[in-house]
Amino acid sequence: MQILTASLSEIAQAVRSRKVSAREVVLAHLAQIEKCNPRLNAFITINHAAEKQALELDERIAKGLEAGPLAGVPVAIKDQICTRGIKTTAASKMLHNFIPPYSATLVEKLEQAGAVIIGKTNQDEFAMGSSTETSAYGLARNPWNSDYVPGGSSGGSAVAVAGGMSPAAIGTDTGGSIRQPASFCGIVGIKPTYGRVSRYGVIAFASSLDQAGPMTRTVLDAAIVLENISGLDAKDSTSANQHVPAWSRSLNKSLKGLRVGLPKEYFATELGSETRKVIEGAIDILRLSGAELTEISLPLTQMAVPVYYLVATSEASSNLARYDGVRYGYRANFSEMPAEDLAEFYCRSRGEAFGVEVKRRIILGTYALSSGYYEDYYKKASQVRRLLRDQYVEAFKKCDVLLGPVTTTPAFKIGCKSTDPVEMYLNDIYTTSANLTGIPGISIPGGFAANGMPIGVQILGGHFQEQLLFNVGAVLEEALSLKEFPNVL
Ligand code: GLN
């Protein structure tokens, strides 16, 4: 078995049947991290206890004990997610020395299933960004061409998987941060229905939008990871009391009669020609597979970005208030110049620890929530959000899934959007609707641009319809049969 290119399901099977040891699997990935990370900067922290954990697993298997569906599978975790005993920074100086005393529920579930946490991945600071350029620990690079961004905010997770440093990773998606980097790096990424995966231990950015999910090389692997991290959690009152199906075992590749909607707002003039071509290729495959395609209209889609940037920044300004240098987070050094008052104490600590993008969002969100402006901004945005949700729910009465692009263009060059926030925010025009409405969305590798950069296809479904996304994804994956790897592998 080629360990670094093997799928998660192949690895777990080989480890369980002792064709390969969990230790060998972990060591191979640690070696790849050592080789690639200095250039690609996918990881902020490497879990040096991983080898020992793999050894313990091998001993269990040798004794004939149950090893779990993810036996020996290395999983990389976005640094936005708490891991007990392993530094968790959210890519911010604010949390530079935070070692959580507990793990997120999803991390505990992964470990119970036999996975080994291989490390913590780079990201945009507090998950705010689309390129992993706002990390306080340096930018990450795209393994297909290191002059390009890997996308964001879960860029490090995408780089880890695409670059063979981990067969699976977990990202978080508040406005597209799993799907967009998956698309830019040529892997599979799914944002589950809001509430599917517990947010307990996931550092909050915008609580009504945040959702964690898998990033993998295959659709089957994404289904396996998701079914192992989903479910109701008493520690998260917004987690959903919904049955978690065995998606990986119910993959149905017959799309006969499946109603696929093509929202015309997702194909407007801003969609780049190379991306359009890839999406049209996917449409042809679905048509040939017996799906029924219809054009539909979701006019409020054009409001998604402005609504998102009001709701997300408002929630962020509230969530990030806790980092004050007293209860949580970085505290400035006051030994030489003491603070005059509490306000100065906060200002200096927060001013030194938060990056430019985080500050911009706190200011914007505070403004949108302040009295006198609340009605005009936050409240209006919430009302439009509700209408947007109604529009999508209505669409899923006529269609089973929607198909469209993830972004207007493939990955862009490092630095080319980092000085223009609005240009950067426009990356999210096709992804934020899923977060605002709570529906699931998946990005599937769809092809390549002329410059060799990957392009993803997005499939959206109704609430809790993840099975349909996996089914359509598996059909595209099989028909396209893209077998290229970046040359770091
Ligand atoms: N790019 C979006 C933003 O900057 C989405 C981030 C995310 O999903 N975490 O907010």
Report which protein residue has its CA nearest ligand 1's atom 5.
175
CB-based contact 429:180 (threshold 8 Å): no
Confirm or reject: Cβ of 175 under 6 Å from ligand 1.
yes
Report which protein residue has its CA nearest ligand 1's atom 10.
128
- For ligand 1, the distance from its centroid to the CA atom of residue 197, given in whole angstroms, is 18
User: What's the CA gap between 270 and 306, in Å, rounded?
Assistant: 17
User: What's the CA gap between 402 and 189, in Å, rounded?
Assistant: 16
pTM of the model: 0.98
From the list 177, 248, 418, 433, the catalytic residue is: 177
Share of the chain above pLDDT 90, in %: 98
- For ligand 1, the distance from its centroid to the CA atom of residue 401, given in whole angstroms, is 23
Closest CA to 284 of 457, 166, 442, 78: 457
Segment 123-137, tens digit of pLDDT: 999 999 999 999 999
The ligand 1 atom at the shortest distance from the C-alpha of residue 176 is: 8
- Helix or strand (DSSP H, E) at 169: strand 168-173
In this prediction, residue 1 carries a pLDDT of: 87
Q: How far is CA 275 from CA 26, 77, 136, 281, 286, in A?
A: 36, 29, 31, 10, 17
Closest CA to 434 of 472, 471, 393: 393
- For ligand 1, the distance from its centroid to the CA atom of residue 33, given in whole angstroms, is 26
The ligand 1 atom at the shortest distance from the C-alpha of residue 309 is: 10
Q: How far is CA 334 from CA 7, 40, 337, in A?
A: 51, 36, 5
Residue 177 designated active-site? yes
The ligand 1 atom at the shortest distance from the C-alpha of residue 435 is: 8
Residue 130 designated active-site? no
Q: Residue 377: what residue type?
A: Y
Strand partners for 458:
404, 443
Sign of CA pseudo-dihedral 33, 38, 40, 45: positive
From the list 9, 21, 78, 433, the catalytic residue is: 78
**Secondary structure letter of residue 103 according to DSSP:** -
Q: Do strands 259-263 and 188-191 pair parallel, antiparallel, or not at all (unpaired)?
A: unpaired
Confirm or reject: Cβ of 130 under 6 Å from ligand 1.
yes
User: What's the CA gap between 126 and 110, in Å, rounded?
Assistant: 23
- For ligand 1, the distance from its centroid to the CA atom of residue 377, given in whole angstroms, is 19
Query: What's the mean pLDDT in 331-351?
Result: 96
Task: Give the SS3 label for residue 195.
Answer: coil
Query: What's the mean pLDDT in 329-358?
Result: 97
- For ligand 1, the distance from its centroid to the CA atom of residue 124, given in whole angstroms, is 9
Query: What's the mean pLDDT in 119-123?
Result: 99
- For ligand 1, the distance from its centroid to the CA atom of residue 285, given in whole angstroms, is 30
The ligand 1 atom at the shortest distance from the C-alpha of residue 127 is: 9
Q: First CA to last CA across the chain, in angstroms?
A: 14
Segment 199-239, tens digit of pLDDT: 999 999 999 999 999 999 999 999 999 999 999 999 999 99
Query: What's the mean pLDDT in 92-112?
Result: 98
Sign of CA pseudo-dihedral 93, 99, 103, 106: positive
Segment 34-85, tens digit of pLDDT: 999 999 999 999 999 999 999 999 999 999 999 999 999 999 999 999 999 9
Q: How far is CA 300 from CA 288, 381, 388, in A?
A: 31, 12, 6
- Residue 403, CA atoms < 13 Å, CB-side half-sphere: 33
Query: Cis before residue 153, ω within 30 degrees of 0?
Result: yes
Counting ligand 1 atoms within 8 A of each CB, the residue from 121, 124, 154 with the most, and so the one to mutate, is 124
User: What's the CA gap between 345 and 72, in Å, rounded?
Assistant: 47
User: What's the CA gap between 210 and 213, in Å, rounded?
Assistant: 10
In this prediction, residue 27 carries a pLDDT of: 98
In this prediction, residue 384 carries a pLDDT of: 98
482 C-beta neighbours (distance < 10 Å), count: 14
Segment 411-465, tens digit of pLDDT: 999 999 999 999 899 889 999 999 999 999 999 999 999 999 999 999 999 999 9
Confirm or reject: Cβ of 128 under 6 Å from ligand 1.
yes
- Helix or strand (DSSP H, E) at 467: helix 466-480
Sign of CA pseudo-dihedral 227, 228, 231, 237: negative
In this prediction, residue 277 carries a pLDDT of: 98
Confirm or reject: Cβ of 432 under 6 Å from ligand 1.
no
Q: Residue 171: what residue type?
A: G
User: What's the CA gap between 296 and 304, in Å, rounded?
Assistant: 17
Categorize the per-residue pLDDT at 253 as very low, low, confident or very high, splitting at 50, 70 and 90: confident
From the list 21, 135, 153, 230, the catalytic residue is: 153
- For ligand 1, the distance from its centroid to the CA atom of residue 418, given in whole angstroms, is 14
**Secondary structure letter of residue 193 according to DSSP:** P
